[in-house]
Amino acid sequence: MKLYQKLAYVRFMFYCLIERITNTIISCFNNKMMAPMTRKFFEERGDQSAVKAEIVQKYFTAWANIVLPTTQQFGGGKIAYIDLYAGPGRYKDGAASTPLLVLQKAIESPKISAALVALFNDMDENNTQSLQAEINALPGIERLKNPPTVNCNPVDKDAEEYFAKTKIIPSFTFLDPFGYKGLSLRLVNGVIKDWGCDCVFFFNYNRISLGISNPLVEEHMAALFGSKRCAELKARVEGAKPALREQVILEELSQALIEMGGSFVLPFRFRNDKGRLTHHLVFVSKNFKGYEVMKDIMASASSSSDQGVASFAYSPADSSMPLLFELTRPLDDLEGMLKKEYAGRTVEMRTIYEQHSVGRPYLSRHYKGVLGKMSDEGVVTVSDPENKPRRRGTFADRLLVTFPKAVL
């Protein structure tokens, strides 16, 4: 056997060993032996968990206030929050986890508390009992017109089938599995398929990156990426450097979500205190408004920025290694991209933002700032269809921007 064949065989056996250990853990979970491990996970809330919970609860509140008026006018007046991996409700240090934080936000708002239907689920009975007790003890919980429902069920093919075939009310769904078991394209598609439905899910990058090259978990990877894409992805990442591997995996995940109907996909990276990637929080929506709102929230939660453009990542390393992820000048790049993409065209500011910002880190204020600068320098011509005088330092959504023709 040649040396490269021996190395490939050793690597394959290593992956098999890792996955056998992983499968043993998962099997323990399914046999309700997961309680000690889950309890350890919830012993103390770290910075990353706090950031994740903050993103989810902020979006829930914003989303609820956006969809409620339409729901009250044309629907039954109800909205839902769904968490299929809810956990026990609190960490061992007493910090509230996401379910309680979301309910607290709902209790604070008379409109939301009158409309919310909250569904929580966890496959560990100890967790569901703890969560129910914590919910019952929440101050003001009686203000919720519909008492929250807490179930104890696995997230499996039956859950996929239910959400795929059942029309649901406007819902915001949070999927935070311990690993990747139960997380699938079909499940995500099921919870976002109806009007007003958005989803954010936990993407365990390290586990999934390992699993892509492991034939023992091929079924799970196919459920997450699709069978054909999974096979192609496996070939593409073979031997790839870590940074390229991450980009390829995230790109393929995003494309898979877009193909099934999630038109707008927004990932947020989490890194450890050494700056290494650990996982992502991935937002999926069919509506640009939801994408816009979540982008603002994730930008504010980022631990670093360059020229005011957020990294869309949280890492404790950013405070000690401020130059680690800031190797480009994003706003300088934006002006060049706009001149090239819209050469010779007249386009409304809001249209530019909605078209160009998808898949890029820029917010509305970045476009307004760059276009205002280009206007002041005479690079573009700006007109107002309402013929209102433009105040210095402002750039209204309605303004029409005429770009110069490309120079050949």
Give me 226's structure tokens.
Answer: 């699709």
Local confidence pLDDT in tens for the 408 residues of the chain: 444 444 444 444 444 443 443 343 333 434 343 444 444 445 555 678 889 999 999 999 999 999 999 998 887 899 999 999 999 999 888 899 999 999 999 999 999 999 999 999 999 999 999 999 999 999 999 999 999 999 999 999 999 999 999 999 999 999 998 777 889 999 999 999 999 999 999 998 888 888 888 888 888 899 989 889 998 998 888 888 888 888 888 889 999 999 888 999 999 999 887 778 888 899 999 999 999 999 999 999 998 888 888 888 888 766 544 433 333 457 889 999 999 999 999 999 999 999 999 989 999 999 999 999 999 999 999 999 999 988 888 999 999 999 999 876
Q: What ranges do the domains of the chain cover?
A: 1-33, 34-317, 330-402
From the list 398, 198, 203, the residue with the least C-alpha distance to 291 is: 198
Give me 101's structure tokens.
Answer: 């934080």
pLDDT at 45: 59
Residues 365, 300: Cα–Cα separation, whole Å:
13
pLDDT at 327: 33
Q: Domain 34-317: which topology?
A: Rossmann fold (3.40.50)
pLDDT at 342: 97
What amino acid occupies position 179? G
Other CB atoms within 10 Å distance of the CB of residue 329: 11
Q: Which residues contact 150 (CB under 8 A, 6 or more apart)?
A: 86, 120, 121, 122, 128, 131, 132, 135
Residues 217, 9: Cα–Cα separation, whole Å:
18
From the list 83, 153, 96, 148, the residue with the least C-alpha distance to 125 is: 153
Residue in the block written with tokens 């450097």: 241
Other CB atoms within 10 Å distance of the CB of residue 319: 10
Residues 327, 208: Cα–Cα separation, whole Å:
27
Give the total residue count for the chain. Answer: 408
Residues 84, 67: Cα–Cα separation, whole Å:
22
Is domain 330-402 given the CATH code 1.10.10 in the classification? yes
Residues 334, 342: Cα–Cα separation, whole Å:
12
